[in-house]
Amino acid sequence: MSKKRLIAVSAEEDRGLDSPVCGRFGHAPYFFFVEEVGGRLGECRCLANPFFEDHQPAQVPLFIKKQGANVIISGNMGSSATQIFSHHGIEVVTGASGTVREAVAAFLKGGIKKGWQPYVHRGDGEHRH
């Protein structure tokens, strides 16, 4: 029997699997939760980030944990969130881009590096890996 996983992905919009991945984890307006069994995608649901407007440390990671996610995929993520996920056994994958569908497919094919990659503030308001 194949192991079932719930993959969470930060998203900019609520357009299903065609929603663009959000580059800033804690500031993502939405999160998609995609079931995966044996490399095949199942049910997908979208939830609005209840802490989008104003969040305190740990609120968003604990929200993701409460949904039952085993994996979180995002463009960028701070070290505090990463530590919380690690503490709860949730795999962190950063560096994602494109759509939710593309990010999940890249993760399943090993095309996105597992683990946290810090981002660097460039001084122009943008963050880069």
Q: What are 44-102's pLDDT values in tens digits?
A: 999 999 999 887 889 999 999 999 999 999 999 988 999 999 999 999 999 999 999 99
In the chain, where the domains are located: 4-128
CA distance 39 to 122: 37
What pairing do the DSSP bridges indicate for beta strands 120-121 and 40-48?
unpaired
- What would the two tokens of residue 47 be? 């939830």
Q: What are 113-122's pLDDT values in tens digits?
A: 666 555 443 3
Encode 7-32: b = buried (16+ Cβ within 10 Å), e = exposed.
bbbbbbeeeebebbbbbebbbbebbb
CATH superfamily for 4-128 is Dinitrogenase iron-molybdenum cofactor biosynthesis domain (3.30.420.130)
Q: What are 18-57's pLDDT values in tens digits?
A: 999 999 998 999 999 999 998 889 999 999 999 998 878 8
